[in-house]
Amino acid sequence: MPNPSPPRAAALALSAAVLSTVLTGCSDNSKSEDLPAQKLSWKDCPAPAESEGGGNAPSPLPGGTQWQCATMKAPLDWADPKGDTIGIALIRARTSGDQSKRIGSLIFNFGGPGGSGVTTLPAFGEDYAKLRTRYDLVSFDPRGVGRSAGVKCEDDSRLDVFFQQDATPDDTAEQKNLLNTTKTFNAACEKNSGRTLPHVRTTDAARDIDLMRQVLGDAKLHYFGISYGTELGGVYAHLFPKKVGRAVFDAVVDPTQNPEQSALGQARGFQLALDNFATDCTSKTEPCPIGDTPQDVKNRIAKLLKDLDSKPIPGVFPRQLTQTEATNGIAQALYSKDFWEYLTEGLDQAYSGDGKVLMLLSDSMNGRSQNGQYSNLYAANVSINCADEKPRYTISDVQAGLPAFRAASPLFGDYLAWGMLSCTNWAVPGAADHPDVSATGAAPILVVGNTGDPATPYQGAKKMVDALGKGVGVEVTYKGQGHGAYDSGNKCVHNAVNGYLLDGTVPPAGTVCT
């Protein structure tokens, strides 16, 4: 399994809203015309499609503004820009402010990779009300995601089995089974989406964004990237430094790391979040139901996972909660402090033999709706990662790295180390060891790091600032918990981000928000 990577996966799955088949995003055989001059046909957004989680059409914003959707044509292969095209699904909410003060469109990417911006932006729309006073809020399904030529791999029933497999093998037989299951999944991706797989790299998505900028009528790109969205934004800045307008990176990916280093960093990050969760639970006035001390909490979780390895417990009927699903569910809950109460409840119930809450958290991470249908979140995540990342790891590589991973996190180390096998036998070679985000000459980019972030550890913010180049990255630190900073509601973070995006005021480098 890959790293727990869908940022805001809880929001993605719980809001579960994306466009239906009205937004055709599959590859087609039409040839590109003058793509920057294309006119978008904006319409009220329909209900989400099954591939993106189902649910209801996005509700209007306070004040009655409707979410509108359209499809932008982009080249399937940017090396052949006049060749076949694909559709890129877009969503927007028009500015609420005085049109004479409108800056342009503010384009969001919420990360993953594999996350649907078309579903996520409405889920967080009210959080960005201030920004909508001067921008149209815009997001999109990146290529390979949802309705934008969405990658297809295995069907729902096979995915149920896939996600319940033992992802932390203890012996040679279990290692072989994990490797074979991974190869089978990857072969299904090639069989069902082979034409698309070579064209879902982050560099391709960055070129789509520049086309989007032109189609939307903006001379510069105004951008808000979160988690993987910071990597995408960095790659854009590298390719088009003179086209960067006002940009913010939140929950920052370390662009200098290879996949193994990134996974090891996540092991440390999730362990830190678990430590903070355990301390929080046991430091309150009321008794913590899952342990008397922080170490007791962690010891009991470790015992639960060990027991589940050989004896799963009832989860969401008729499925059983396995060790893998429990670990996945715990990781999901650590993405946001808002979910710590559900983690406490889920663990408390699991100790009594009921694994439903932990399984629901795991389902959220994997993009599984309560009706048993999966979005293409996981398929897109693997496809984009494997197209981007050059290394292909073996069982021997994982075994060599296990001591370091276990030292970084007794709970998540094995899980993240074995996840490095995800790209084994992938049909498309990976592009590079890590992305190039050097962007000399770009306008200032606000880089916001959270000291308690489990998925994109805080140290990545400084690495991003350095990699962007002198005079580009401006670092802001938020001393908080969870994945990302802006949606924490912290006033200091809001002032820094809003001040730059709305008024062009660059905060002092090294600003610290508590």
CA distances, 369 to each of 15, 273, 360, 495 (Å): 10, 26, 9, 36
**How far, in Å, CA of 489 to CA of 508, rounded?**
20
**How far, in Å, CA of 272 to CA of 203, rounded?**
32
**How far, in Å, CA of 415 to CA of 178, rounded?**
12
Crossing angle for the helix pair 259-282 and 395-408, to the nearest 10 degrees: 30
Cis peptide before 113 (omega within 30 of 0): yes
**How far, in Å, CA of 347 to CA of 356, rounded?**
10
CA distances, 484 to each of 227, 448, 454, 498 (Å): 7, 8, 9, 15
Residue in the block written with tokens 């589940």: 308
Do residues 244 and 439 touch, judged by C-beta distance below 8 A? yes
Do residues 121 and 137 touch, judged by C-beta distance below 8 A? yes
Give bridge partners of residue 320 from the DSSP assignment: 314
* Known catalytic membership, residue 453: yes
**How far, in Å, CA of 115 to CA of 118, rounded?**
9
Smallest Cα–Cα separation from 50: which of 378, 374, 377, 381?
374
Q: In sequence order, what are the residues at sequence separation of 6 or more whose Cβ sits closer than 8 angstroms to the Cβ of residue 161?
A: none
Catalytic residue (one of 141, 414, 453, 487): 453
What Rg value do the Cα atoms of the chain yield, rounded?
22
Contacts 24+ apart (CB under 8 A), 73-76: 73/30, 73/32, 73/33, 73/35, 73/38, 74/35, 74/143, 74/207, 74/208, 74/211, 75/32, 75/35, 76/27, 76/149, 76/195, 76/196, 76/199
User: How would you label 275-289 residue by residue, b for 16+ Cβ within 10 Å and e otherwise?
Assistant: bbbbebbbeeeeebe
DSSP 30: P
* Known catalytic membership, residue 483: yes
Catalytic residue (one of 222, 434, 483, 494): 483
Catalytic residue (one of 227, 383, 422, 488): 227
3-state secondary structure (DSSP) of residue 259: helix
Do residues 240 and 221 touch, judged by C-beta distance below 8 A? yes
DSSP 430: -
3-state secondary structure (DSSP) of residue 237: helix
Give bridge partners of residue 70 from the DSSP assignment: 90
Q: In sequence order, what are the residues at sequence separation of 6 or more whose Cβ sits closer than 8 angstroms to the Cβ of residue 98?
A: none
Strands (E), 352-464: 445-452
The catalytic site residues sit at 227, 453, 483
